[in-house]
Amino acid sequence: MKLHIRTAEPCDREQLRTLLIDAADELAGEHHHLLEAKLPWDGHPMLLADSQGHPVLVSFEPENSQAALVNGLVATEQLTAALPWINQIYASLGKQQRPPKLVIVSPEPPPGSRAILSTCPNLSLFNYRILNINGDTGLWLEKTTELSTSTGSQHRHDETRPSPVQPVAKTTTDDSNTVLPTLSAEESTYFQQL
């Protein structure tokens, strides 16, 4: 069987969302859970839980890498602020009080990538290309871990880069004694709609 691989035409946001959901193992690891395919915040990021129950926020843009980064940072702040209530809605997060890992997916690295990668251990950047493989549309993801000093989009990859996770607040080792504030009926309805 011959493989015919070609770059495909750019896709719109919803087509890219579908391709990213199919490729979520690359973004959040195996045994992840899709919590929300379309959050109601700017850019409509996706919310996943990795195999350890940590939240993974995926911000993406089909054309504007800077918007993907800014929308992702804003959504991370919103999600972190709402984490106690989000944990009550999504059992797969295991009520961990950890900030989300932020994954940015864009056609090229956003401006300022070098500075932000060196200071944000919970951030991962992926470049993508839409491919046509034997008539089927596919997504090629390439993790960016260090940018070159020259201009252009050259980059190196390091798949063994650790992603340390820092707790938002001190947590006890026994989470069974932790009491989170109870949601009102209105708050519960709101978070269930997310």
3-state secondary structure the chain: CCCCEEECCCCCHHHHHHHHHHCHHHHHCCCCEEEECCCCCCCCCEEEECCCCCEEEEEECCCCHHHHHHHHHHHHHHHHHCHHHHHHHCHHHCCCCCCCEEEEEECCCCCCHHHHHHHCCCEEEEEEEEEEECCEEEEEEEEECEECCCCCCCEECCCCCCCCCCCCCCCCCCHHHCCCCCCCHHHHHHHHHC
Flag whether pLDDT at 148 surpasses 50. Answer: no
Of the listed ranges 31-40, 84-93, 125-134, 153-162, the one predicted with least confidence: 153-162
Of the listed ranges 76-85, 96-105, 162-171, the one predicted with least confidence: 162-171
pLDDT (average), residues 90-98? 83
pTM: 0.74
The neighbour count for residue 161, using CB atoms within 10 Å, is 12
Residue-level pLDDT at 160: 37
The percentage of residues in the chain with a pLDDT greater than 90, rounded to a whole number, is: 53
Length of the chain: 194
Residue-level pLDDT at 137: 92
Residue-level pLDDT at 118: 86
